[in-house]
Amino acid sequence: MLGFLKKTQRSKFTAYGLILPAFAVVFILAAYSAYWLVKMSLVKWLFGEPWINSIWVGLDNYRWLLFDQNSSFWASVRITAVYVGIALFVELVLGLGIALLLNSKIFGRSIYTAFLIIPIVVMPSMVGMVFRLYFSYDGLINYFIETFFGAKFNWYGPELALPAVILVDIWEATPFFVLILLAGLQALPKEPFEAARVDGASNLQEFRWITLPMMAPLIVTVSILRLMDLLRSFDVIFVMFAGGPGDVTTTLPLYVYKMTLIARNVGRGSAASIMLIIIIVALTFLLIRLFERIKFEM
């Protein structure tokens, strides 16, 4: 028995020893980057100038971001909330629905699954370039709308630019939900479903009381991953509209870019970056707690 315990302890130490180098590298790089990000957020420093010209301002950058009437930070937060909320909800619901459909016995399931990989593997910048052409006034989108409904829309205007970006993100990211959730559905045990059918449960009851509770951990995980990705989304929005027209598609990553590289104010851009990190961590925590409560109620 003592030999078994010693062997188990040696195995644990071996596992920790193998993990430690990678963990140390990641931790050191993250800590060093965070240190400089915080340090830059506390100074007034123009992009391109030497660090020696930076001026210590303390929390003034944060005060300007959060309370100054010339700051558009809160407008970017509202735009980001709309963009992330609609895109995440639609992608999750649509992805789960398609995954449930593909999980049933339908003809050509492997072909459909293969086609779903295409939007994932295409570079986001290329997606933005292609859809920038599609959403032009004489582009493919307006061609189909005019063909079926006899109307054309100005997708480059301030009213439709953000919906256009959301539609592109839904096209690009929904397959991610489909593939992950489909793998989860196929890994579920068959016995609970067979027992439910014997008891006369309907498909809706099976989904409500068996599928959804068992899939909840995976839904939480994939939603958190997608939430963090959406909050950091930059490529497609930048290539399509560069945050415009005006500021209607200026999400927080675009705001950080404009503040740092366009306005050349590294201090305020760094402060905005820290605020974005805080928002990501807070929303991730709230999402985990929300899904834990929903899972408990189920």
Q: How confident is the model at residue 251 (pLDDT cuts 50, 70, 90)?
A: very high
Domain map (residue ranges) of the chain: 72-297
What are the pLDDT digits (tens) for 219-234? 888 988 898 899 989 9
Whether the predicted pLDDT of 105 surpasses 90: no
DSSP string, 31-78: HHHHHHHHHHHTEE-BTTS-GGG-EE-TTHHHHHHHH-TT--HHHHHH
Q: Which of 9-13, 19-23, 182-186 has the lowest mean pLDDT?
A: 9-13
> Rounded CA gap, 41 and 164, in Å?
33
Residue 168, pLDDT above cutoff 80:
yes
Q: Which of 71-80, 122-131, 208-217, 271-280 is predicted least confidently?
A: 208-217
If residue 121 lies in a helix (H) or strand (E), which one and from where to where? helix 118-121
- pLDDT of residue 38 exceeding 50: yes
pLDDT over 90 percentage in the chain: 40
**Alpha carbon distance 75, 252 (integer Å):** 9
Report the amino acid identity of residue 4.
F
**What number is the average pLDDT over the span 73-94?**
94
Average pLDDT over residues 276-289: 85
∠ at Cα 188 (184, 194), nearest 5°? Answer: 145
Q: What is the mean pLDDT of residues 39-50?
A: 90
CATH architecture for the domain at 72-297: Orthogonal Bundle (1.10)
**pLDDT given at position 4:** 46
At 295, is the pLDDT very low, low, confident or very high (cuts 50, 70, 90)? Answer: low
The 10s digit of each residue's pLDDT in 170-201 is: 999 999 999 999 989 988 888 888 788 877 77
* pLDDT interval class at 5 (50, 70, 90): very low
pLDDT at 266 over 70: yes
Provide the percentage of residues in the chain whose pLDDT is more than 70: 94
Lowest-confidence segment of 36-45, 107-116, 189-198, 262-271 by average pLDDT: 107-116
pLDDT at 73: 93
